[in-house]
Chains A and B, each alone.
Chain A
């Protein structure tokens, strides 16, 4: 009896279990509570937009998929606890409607996430979310002041930059330690927390901005999106290490998201929404499947045909998840200004250059891992084929 007890606790450590239970409880409360609270006074403070609801479900699915099936160096209980706890935190960020309250919660989530033992020091890991909170809070506080026009424009710029800072994109790139587990690196923000913010914050901010401020906000997002797209596709192609190439591929995805959001067109928002879902459900899981090869510093042992399939998926070809994103984005850009569509098209063509490089790092270790990889490919296929249905679920 005495010797059996520790092994049970090793299998299900209580802090991780409580974190998982807490995350599930908060997510459930946010998903179902906001529908039931129509008569409550808190309705104005807590409201989940439809895209945020879909994102929460997608994030929970991604956590279950990667925890159960991806190759890991750290315990699956720890991952499940951290992952479901993160989904709970994401649910709160998505649900709260006051941007200043979101800024405060960003600080809280950033510190709590960084306080977990392992990885880089806390003081370094919190810099991104804390700076994002400052930009969001200051931008929101000053967008409505009756001051000079330039102050309102600066506030709108600050709001756009806050999203970029939270995701750790150019010009706020965070260091990614190749040896640190993925959940401890800043990619957890780039690939997990920030997509939820990107889906909900613009919906909260836009109605409150003046036309002048909205123009600055949108133009900043489009500019930063093009910068990240260019940086991402060239970086993923030319950079020295495969880990850095993967990080750059996240930047390229985010570039499409920012441009789509900044165009203020229905097709643009839909493209951003689909791209964010693909980041959480496809790009991040594939990165986890690439981690063993990245740590060994060599190519993954996988059949060439599977690598080509993954490369096609990563390139955004039909019928995978990237294709409708590109189609919708080009449609929205053409309607706004055709030179923008030309720039986007150039980025999309350059995108192909790095895909085989990334695909060669994606590998499997055993049957469970192989099942997970095929499931991820299937999810990408579903996102591509049923993009209309998925858009309709979010009302886009």
Chain B
């Protein structure tokens, strides 16, 4: 096991969470969820977790993002005017997570957990500030994926299932224009 794929996976998951935080449209959210899922899957699998369980995270990320592609306005909604506080927030969340939780990291699994933690923290931040239905559901999916990556085995699969079910809730409701 080498550290590079774990660190790359954790960094990718942070990038995905930042996309979710910065997007005001469904395409950006879908891309963010997919990147979060793939990043966390890469980090957990490279850290020695069961690869099938790790793959479930990737499937969960892509599966929870996909339903958003066919609904609402077809834009990315990234970095719209007024997004500066969220850009700063995503960088501060990364720094704070590494400073606070990094003290407990002694192995590669710890690095993968850092990726999950930063995703969970940023997804909760999005959830607490968003007002629209689909934005909240997308942030909820990311929160589930992030929390799932903090554990191993069956919990990863459960996290992927929860993420996908949340995106299906959106399909049952009316289409909303804004997040």
Contact = CB atoms under 8 A, between A and B. Distances in A.
Interface string A95-125: 0001011011101101110010000011110
B127 A126 contact: yes
A109 to B, nearest CB: 10
A137 interface: yes
A183 B165 CA distance: 22
Interface in A149-195: 151, 154
B80 interface: no
A45 B154 contact: yes
Nearest to B117: A138
Nearest to B160: A104
Contact of B133 (A110, A123, A130, A140): A123
B37 to A, nearest CB: 15
Main secondary structure of the interface of A (DSSP, over half): helix
Interface in A127-150: 127, 130-131, 133-134, 137-138, 140-142, 145-148
B162 A112 contact: no
Nearest to B116: A141
Contacts of B144: 104, 107-108
A137 B166 contact: no
B121 interface: yes
A138 B155 contact: no
Contact of A115 (B113, B127, B130, B172): B172
Contacts of A126: 127, 136, 140
Given A100-B147, A101-B155, A141-B151, A148 B106 contact: no
B110 A145 contact: yes
Given A126-B136, A134-B121, A104 B147 contact: yes
Contacts of B135: 123
Contact of B165 (A108, A121, A131, A151): A108
A145 B135 CA distance: 33
B127 to A, nearest CB: 5
A133 B141 CA distance: 12
Given A107-B140, A137-B147, A141-B117, A115 B131 contact: no
Contacts of A134: 120-121, 124, 143, 147
Contacts of B132: 123
A111 B101 contact: no
B74 to A, nearest CB: 22
A100 B147 CA distance: 7
B137 interface: yes
A100 B162 contact: no
Contact of A130 (B106, B140, B148): B140
Nearest to A125: B136
B169 interface: yes
Contacts of A145: 104-106, 110
A133 B143 contact: yes
A151 B101 contact: yes
A141 B113 contact: yes
A127 B128 contact: yes
A142 B124 CA distance: 18
Given A127-B128, A142-B101, A151-B101, A104 B150 contact: no
Contacts of A148: 103-104
A143 B121 CA distance: 17
Contacts of A105: 158, 162
A123 B104 CA distance: 33
A147 B103 contact: yes
A103 B103 contact: no
Contact of B155 (A98, A142, A151): A98
A100 to B, nearest CB: 4
B34 interface: no
A146 B130 CA distance: 36
A104 B140 contact: no
B173 interface: yes
Interface string A33-46: 00000000000010
10 contacts: A100-B151, A104-B162, A108-B144, A123-B127, A134-B124, A145-B105, A145-B106, A145-B110, A146-B104, A147-B103
Query: Top 4 nearest A-B pairs by Cβ distance?
Result: A147-B104, A145-B104, A141-B150, A123-B136
